Amino acid sequence: MGQIVLARIDDRLIHGQVMTAWLQYTGGNHIVIVDDQTATDEFTRSIITMAVPAGIGLSICTVEGAAGLLSQIPPGKKVIILAKGPEAYHELIERGIVLDEIIIGGMGAKSGRKTFYKNISASEDEKNYFRKIISTGTNMKVHVIPDQGSAAIEGLLSE
C-alpha cells in the first residue's frame, strides 16, 4: 500500500490550500477522496478532476470502496486522503486502514454544528466520532494550513 502522508477532514475537499500548500508540504502524489455523494455525482467528479494538477493521481470513491482502493495503491505513492467528516475515517479504521493522524482543516458552520475551535465547527455526533477515532490510537488535531500551528483536540472534546 502507498504511504498515507495526510488524512484531512475538510467540507470543501479540494480547494486552493489542498492544491498548493498541502501537496507541496506532504509531497503527495495521489489524492483519494472518500465521500459517497461526491463519488456518485458525475458533475462534481468532473470539476474535481479538472482541479487536480497534472501528474497527481486522483481516486474518488465511496466510503465502502475506499478501504479496498487504499490497500491496492502501489508502494511509492504518497497518498492524501480527503473526506468531509470524521464518519468516513471512522469507517476506514473499522475496515482495517491504519491512520496515524487525522487533521481537521475545514469544518464550517452549518445546521447542527457549534463552534468547536476558532472557525472550526462540529456537531455532537461528529465529536463522538472524534472520540471513537482517538480511542483507536489515531491522533487528531486541528491544522488548517501547514505553516500555521496545530492544536490537539482531546482537550476540546469536554467543552
Lowest model confidence (mean pLDDT) among 23-32, 45-54, 69-78, 146-155: 146-155
* Burial of 141: CB neighbours in 10 Å, binned 0-12, 13-18, 19+: middle
Quote the domain boundaries for residue 63: 3-156
Domain count, the chain: 1
DSSP string computed for 83-149: ESSHHHHHHHHHTT---SEEEEEE----TT-EEEETTEEE-HHHHHHHHHHHHTT-EEEE-SSTTS-
CATH code (residue 10): 3.40.35.10
**pLDDT per residue as tens digits for the range 83-119:** 999 999 999 999 999 999 999 998 989 999 999 888 8
pLDDT tops 60 at residue 159: no
pTM, two decimals, is: 0.94
